């Protein structure tokens, strides 16, 4: 019931704050299945060490407030920066919705179904779907929008959803 869930949520509150950076979260929790990468297994910034500093700038405790990246294609930035930031925020920030904006609805659907959902499932998040998977929660979830216990994860495209 909602009351039991709320009681459990309050019981799990601690006075400690995890002092973990997004890159540390990714290496400790992010698992890449063979369906999304030719290098399956736990994520490691050894593959793309130049992305570590960028993703750590996404930490709310970082003094950096704007990140601009000029990069080549297929260097691992989507997984190493964007998806790992989403996972980190789901695990540690929990205070705001997350939006990943893509060029169009087709790319949004591909990114969500093939990358973000497997990331959530493979990374140990216990928030999939909302609390107990009630029918209300299932109705709120779609290909483009995933309502999780906390926070809300939403994907959209620059051109809208059609």
Buried b / exposed e over 101-122, threshold 16 CB at 10 Å, is ebeebeebbebbeebbbbbbeb
Looking at the whole model, is its pTM more than 0.75?
Answer: no
Q: List, for residues 17-76, the tens digit of each pLDDT value.
A: 568 999 999 999 888 888 778 888 899 999 999 999 999 999 988 999 999 999 999 899
* Whole-number pLDDT of residue 139: 55
32: three-class secondary structure by DSSP: strand
Higher pLDDT, 156 or 15: 15
DSSP string covering 70-90? ---TTSSHIIIIIIHHHHHII
Residue 90, φ and ψ in degrees, nearest 5: -60, -35
Q: List, for residues 83-137, the tens digit of each pLDDT value.
A: 999 888 888 776 667 788 888 888 888 888 888 878 877 776 544 444 444 333 4
The band of 146, judged by pLDDT with boundaries at 50, 70 and 90, is low
Sign of CA dihedral 26, 47, 50, 107: negative
Q: What average pLDDT does range 147-161 have in this prediction?
A: 46
Q: CA-CA distance, 61 to 40, in Å (whole number)?
A: 30
Higher pLDDT, 24 or 10: 24
């Amino acid at each position: 019931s909602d009351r039991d869930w709320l009681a459990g949520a309050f019981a799990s509150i601690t006075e400690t704050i995890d002092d973990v950076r997004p890159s540390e979260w990714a290496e400790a929790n992010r698992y890449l299945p063979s369906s999304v990468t030719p290098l399956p297994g736990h994520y490691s910034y050894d593959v793309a060490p130049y992305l570590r500093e960028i993703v750590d700038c996404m930490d709310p405790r970082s003094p950096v407030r704007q990140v601009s990246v000029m990069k080549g294609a297929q260097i691992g930035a989507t997984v190493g920066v964007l998806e790992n930031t989403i996972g980190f925020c789901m695990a540690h920030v929990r205070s705001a919705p997350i939006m990943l904006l893509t060029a169009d609805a087709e790319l949004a659907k591909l990114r969500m179904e093939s990358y973000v959902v497997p990331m959530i499932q493979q990374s140990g998040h216990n928030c999939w779907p909302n609390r107990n998977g009630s029918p209300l929660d299932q109705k709120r979830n779609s290909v483009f929008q995933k309502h999780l216990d906390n926070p809300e994860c939403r994907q959209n495209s620059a051109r809208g959803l059609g």
